[in-house]
Chain A
C-alpha cells in the first residue's frame, strides 16, 4: 500500500480521533448510568414513604421552628430577604391557606390560628413529574419525588403544575444568602428549581428525614404506609387525618392529624 504525505496525515488524524473518542467513552457511559443507584444495606427501605404531621402537637408549641431550622441549616437553604425570591422546603402557613377548601367561618379558633407545616407532598401522582420536559424531577419506587439540579433547565413548568406551592426557583445566586454552608450537602446555583427531597441522603444511610428527628415533641412521624405495623399506619388508623387538596387526584403523601 502506498501512502503519500497527505494520506498519511489523514490516517494519523483519524486514528488519533478514534483513540480520543474511545478513551472518552467510558466517562460518557458513567454519566448516563440509567439503573438505580446501589443502595447500601443499612439504608431505610420502604414501599411507600409517607409523613404524618400532628397539628395538635404543633399547636401546643407556638413559635417552635426546630424542624424548619434543622432543614434549612442541613440543606443549605438560603435566607433571602425578598419574599419574591424565597426558597422554601418546609415552612408554616395559616390553616386557611394550607387547606383552602376546608375554609369554614366557625372552625375551632385554635385550629384556625395554629400554624400548619407545609412541605413537598411527595405525591403518588405528581403533576410536577408529569410536566417536566427533561425528567429532572421524577418519582422513585419508594415514593420520593426527586430533583436533579444538574439536569433542570429552569423552565419552571413544575412550579406552575404544583398545586401546593412546594417548589422554589433560584431567581438569584443563593450562596451569598447561606450564613453557614454545610459541606456535606450541595448548594444550588441560580436558574434551577428545588424542593424538599424527603432527606433521601439520610434515608440512604438508615436515618429518617431530619425534620422528623429534629422535632422535640414528636409532631412528625415518618414511615412506610405499605407496612401495616408502621407507626404512620397506626396513627392514621386511630386519628382523623386530612390531606391538602385531595380532590385534585395527586394523592399527596403528607397526612395531617387535626
Chain B
C-alpha cells in the first residue's frame, strides 16, 4: 500500500520536502546534543525534566484520544464515524511514535535504552509506561493495517481483529493513566501528588485529541476528495465540548484544595504559576493565557450556533488545543520542579536547539500522519472510484 504515498501533487511534495528539512535540522541538533550532552537544553539540576517530557505528556493524550472515535464506532455501532475512525487510529499511531521519540531524545544515555528490557523493573512506573506505549503502538498498527488491507480486497475484516479493537479501548485509557502515575506517585513533588492527575489527563486528552482530529478532517476536505461528513465532525465537536467542560471543572477542583487548605508545600507551586513567587514569574503569562484560551474555547463550543459552524468550530478547536498544549506541554512538568524540594527557585526556558529537536520530532509525526492518511485515503478512493 506504500506506493500510494509516492504519488502526489506539487503541494504534497512541497509539504514533504518542508517536513524533511525540519527533520534534518532536528536531527543535526540531536547529533550536537549527543556530542555535548543534555546541557545543550535549558534543563538544570533543579528543573531536570522540561520541554521534551512535557511534549511527551501532551502527545500521550492525543494518542489516547483515538478511543473517542473508536468507542462509538465499534462499541455502539455509530455509523456516522465510519469514515473518521481510521483517521483517529492513524493519528494515534503518529502521536504515540512521537511520544517514544520524545522519551528517547530526553535520555542522557540513549544507546543504553534497552537496559529497560534487560533489567525489567516492575516497581518502576517507567517500565510499565514502556510496555503500554509500545503495546498501544503495536495494537493500532495492527488494527489499521488489517482493516485497510481487508477494505482494499473488498472483504470484511477478519473476525479476530474485533477483540483487538476492543482491547485498544481500555489500552488507550491505560497509556494516559500510567503516564499520570509517573508523576503523581512522587512524594517529593507536591504539585503532582494528586489522585486527580490521571482523570485530568484523560479529560484534557479527550478535548485536545478530538479537536485536533476535527482540524485534520477539515484540512482533508480541502486538500483531498475525502470527506468524513459534517455530521461526524459536529458529533465529535460535542464530545470535545463535554471533555473540555470536564477538563476545566477538574482544573478548578484541583485549584480549590491548595487555595483553601493553604498548605504551603502545594500552594507555592500554584502561587508560582498564577502570581509569581519571590519575583520569579516566567510562567505567569502562560498560565493565564492557557486559562483564558480554554475558557474561550469552551464558550464557543457550548453554544450550538458557534459549535455547528465550521469557522467558529475551527476557532474553538485551535483555542482549545492551544490552551491545553500550554498547560500540558509547557506548564505541568516544569511547575512540579519550581520551587525545588529545598525551596529554591530555578526557572526554565527551552533553548533553541531543544526547540529545534522538538520540532524535528513533531515533523516526524506530521510526516507519518501525512503518508498514513495518504495511504488510507488512497485505498478508500480506489474502492469508491
Interface residues of A (CB under 8 A from B): 83-86, 88, 93, 96-98, 100, 127, 130-136, 151-157, 159-165, 168-173, 190-193, 245, 248-250
What is the minimal beta-carbon distance from B354 to any residue of chain A, in angstroms?
Answer: 12
What is the minimal beta-carbon distance from B69 to any residue of chain A, in angstroms?
Answer: 32
Are A159 and B121 within 8 A (Cβ)?
no
- Partner-contacting stretch, out of B109-117, B213-221, B363-371: B109-117
**Which residues 331-375 in B have Cβ within 8 Å of A in the complex?**
336-337, 340-344, 346
Are B116 and A98 within 8 A (Cβ)?
no
Q: A133-B127, A160-B189 are in contact. List 7 more A-B contacts (CB 8 A).
A: A84-B346, A100-B343, A127-B186, A156-B108, A164-B341, A191-B108, A248-B188
Q: Is B36 an interface residue (CB 8 A)?
A: yes
Which one of B109, B123, B127, B344 lies within 8 Å of A154 (CB-CB)?
B109
Which one of B37, B187, B340 lies within 8 Å of A170 (CB-CB)?
B37
**A84-B346, A98-B342 are known contacts. Are A191 and B109 too (CB-CB below 8 A)?**
yes
CB-CB under 8 A from A96, the residues of chain B are 343
Are A249 and B187 within 8 A (Cβ)?
yes
CB-CB under 8 A from A248, the residues of chain B are 187-188
CB-CB under 8 A from A160, the residues of chain B are 48-49, 183, 186, 188-189, 336-337
**A131-B186, A133-B116, A133-B130 are known contacts. Are A155 and B107 too (CB-CB below 8 A)?**
yes
| Interface class of chain B by DSSP | loop
CB-CB under 8 A from A171, the residues of chain B are 37-39, 43-45
What is the minimal beta-carbon distance from A33 to any residue of chain B, in angstroms?
Answer: 14
Question: In the bound complex, how far is the Cα of B110 from the Cα of A134, in angstroms?
Answer: 13
What is the minimal beta-carbon distance from B47 to any residue of chain A, in angstroms?
Answer: 8
Q: Is B254 an interface residue (CB 8 A)?
A: no
CB-CB under 8 A from A161, the residues of chain B are 186, 188
Question: In the bound complex, how far is the Cα of B186 from the Cα of A151, in angstroms?
Answer: 23
Question: In the bound complex, how far is the Cα of B341 from the Cα of A93, in angstroms?
Answer: 12
Question: In the bound complex, how far is the Cα of B45 from the Cα of A153, in angstroms?
Answer: 16
CB-CB under 8 A from A169, the residues of chain B are 38, 45, 48, 108
* CB-based nearest B residue for A97: B342
* CB-based nearest B residue for A155: B107
What is the minimal beta-carbon distance from B91 to any residue of chain A, in angstroms?
Answer: 27
CB-CB under 8 A from B49, the residues of chain A are 156, 160
Q: Is B126 an interface residue (CB 8 A)?
A: yes
Are B123 and A130 within 8 A (Cβ)?
yes
Offer 14 A-B interface pairs, CB within 8 angstroms, sorted by A: A93-B342, A97-B344, A100-B343, A135-B119, A155-B106, A164-B188, A165-B45, A165-B340, A165-B341, A168-B45, A171-B39, A171-B45, A173-B37, A190-B37
What is the minimal beta-carbon distance from A28 to any residue of chain B, in angstroms?
Answer: 12
Are B344 and A157 within 8 A (Cβ)?
no
Number of A-B contacts (CB under 8 A): 142
* CB-based nearest B residue for A248: B187
Q: Is B182 an interface residue (CB 8 A)?
A: yes
Interface residues of B (CB under 8 A from A): 36-39, 43-46, 48-49, 103, 106-110, 112-113, 115-116, 118-119, 121, 123-127, 130, 182-183, 186-189, 265, 336-337, 340-344, 346
Are A153 and B116 within 8 A (Cβ)?
yes
* CB-based nearest A residue for B183: A160
Are A134 and B187 within 8 A (Cβ)?
no
* CB-based nearest B residue for A158: B48
Q: Which 4 pairs from chain A and chain B are nearest by CB? A: A154-B108, A191-B108, A84-B44, A190-B37
Are B115 and A153 within 8 A (Cβ)?
yes
Are A151 and B124 within 8 A (Cβ)?
no
Q: Which of B36, B103, B121, B182 has the most CB of A within 10 A?
A: B121
CB-CB under 8 A from A173, the residues of chain B are 36-37
What is the minimal beta-carbon distance from B191 to any residue of chain A, in angstroms?
Answer: 11
What is the minimal beta-carbon distance from A101 to any residue of chain B, in angstroms?
Answer: 8
What is the minimal beta-carbon distance from A243 to any residue of chain B, in angstroms?
Answer: 14
What is the minimal beta-carbon distance from B264 to any residue of chain A, in angstroms?
Answer: 8
* CB-based nearest B residue for A174: B37
Question: In the bound complex, how far is the Cα of B182 from the Cα of A161, in angstroms?
Answer: 10
Are A136 and B44 within 8 A (Cβ)?
no
Which one of B103, B112, B182, B187 lies within 8 Å of A151 (CB-CB)?
B112
CB-CB under 8 A from B126, the residues of chain A are 131, 133, 155, 157
**A135-B119, A160-B186, A165-B341 are known contacts. Are A84 and B45 too (CB-CB below 8 A)?**
yes
Question: In the bound complex, how far is the Cα of B118 from the Cα of A133, in angstroms?
Answer: 10
Are B39 and A172 within 8 A (Cβ)?
yes
**A162-B341, A169-B48, A249-B187 are known contacts. Are A134 and B107 too (CB-CB below 8 A)?**
no
What is the minimal beta-carbon distance from A81 to any residue of chain B, in angstroms?
Answer: 12
What is the minimal beta-carbon distance from B55 to any residue of chain A, in angstroms?
Answer: 15
**A85-B44, A170-B37 are known contacts. Are A127 and B188 too (CB-CB below 8 A)?**
yes
What is the minimal beta-carbon distance from B109 to any residue of chain A, in angstroms?
Answer: 4
* CB-based nearest B residue for A162: B188
Are A134 and B45 within 8 A (Cβ)?
no
**A153-B115, A169-B45 are known contacts. Are A85 and B39 too (CB-CB below 8 A)?**
yes
What is the minimal beta-carbon distance from B149 to any residue of chain A, in angstroms?
Answer: 36
CB-CB under 8 A from A168, the residues of chain B are 45
What is the minimal beta-carbon distance from A105 to any residue of chain B, in angstroms?
Answer: 14
CB-CB under 8 A from A93, the residues of chain B are 342
* CB-based nearest B residue for A100: B343
Question: In the bound complex, how far is the Cα of B250 from the Cα of A160, in angstroms?
Answer: 24
CB-CB under 8 A from A153, the residues of chain B are 107-110, 112-113, 115-116
Q: Which of B36, B106, B108, B341 has the most CB of A within 10 A?
A: B108
Question: In the bound complex, how far is the Cα of B336 from the Cα of A96, in angstroms?
Answer: 20
**A96-B343, A160-B189, A161-B188 are known contacts. Are A131 and B125 too (CB-CB below 8 A)?**
yes
CB-CB under 8 A from B340, the residues of chain A are 165
CB-CB under 8 A from B341, the residues of chain A are 100, 162-165, 245
Are B186 and A170 within 8 A (Cβ)?
no
* CB-based nearest A residue for B346: A84
Question: In the bound complex, how far is the Cα of B278 from the Cα of A97, in angstroms?
Answer: 15
